[in-house]
Chains A and B, each alone.
Chain A
Amino acid sequence: DTEVTQTPKHLVMGMTNKKSLKCEQHMGHRAMYWYKQKAKKPPELMFVYSYEKLSINESVPSRFSPECPNSSLLNLHLHALQPEDSALYLCASSQGRRTVSYNEQFFGPGTRLTVL
């Protein structure tokens, strides 16, 4: 299984809502990532989890809260978002060691988030 799945596919939320994005992989990867992608731009890294521990937080606002319940799952909890947070949110995973494979990330299809 070489697939990363993400739910939901689309999400529309108001600025006072609380919602969560979910990501799952069964490739045995030990590194998982959240990216934000605006239209016609490359993905921007938000968070990295390595062996279920948060290893990188790219100065993301606290209204985004990541969680890694186990090695296969990654969540992104959303609260009090702003309209400018509307974007495609991508989850990815990779091998958890510093080898060439570590840099090969497998992406999910993304969640298209719209904040009203």
Chain B
Amino acid sequence: TQLLEQSPQFLSIQEGENLTVYCNSSSVFSSLQWYRQEPGEGPVLLVTVVTGGEVKKLKRLTFQFGDARKDSSLHITAAQPGDTGLYLCAGVPGTASKLTFGTGTRLQVTL
């Protein structure tokens, strides 16, 4: 059973388009992280959301944590080729002791 389901799995868009990636779970998380991973590299932490309903912005990226702390979304405005990569949400559910990664969303932005 995958605790964190991401959608879509794959997204191919053109430069300048907007997109939203979803991360859903039936479990409550004390916090959720979003990472971006480029081919052949390790994931890079983008943001941590902690409070239900919280919205954080990182330049053209907007992250939101669901009110019930069971889901999160990542919205990218005016996507650029440099946004290409694997986007992973991750968190520690309930009383668990290890980080669970989402299923991943592979984004490709073309000129």
Contacts and interface: CB of A to CB of B under 8 A. Distances in A.
A108 B42 contact: yes
Contacts of B41: 109-110
B71 to A, nearest CB: 17
B78 interface: no
B59 interface: no
B97 interface: yes
B-side binding surface: helix, strand, loop or mixed? strand
Contact of B99 (A41, A90, A103, A108): A103
Nearest to B50: A100
A57 B52 CA distance: 32
Contacts, number: 57
B30 A107 contact: no
B43 A107 contact: yes
A48 B42 CA distance: 17
A30 to B, nearest CB: 15
Interface residues on B, range: 20 to 34
Contacts of B86: 40
A45 interface: yes
Interface residues on A, range: 20 to 34
Contact of A56 (B30, B50, B98, B104): B98
A45 B50 CA distance: 23
A33 B30 CA distance: 20
Interface string B38-57: 00111111001010000000
A112 B102 CA distance: 22
Contact of B40 (A55, A105, A107, A112): A112
Contact of A110 (B30, B42, B92, B106): B42
B40 to A, nearest CB: 7
Q: Which 5 A-B pairs have the closest CB atoms?
A: A107-B42, A42-B101, A100-B31, A107-B43, A42-B104
Interface of A: 4, 6, 40-43, 45, 48, 55-56, 88, 90, 92, 100, 103-110, 112
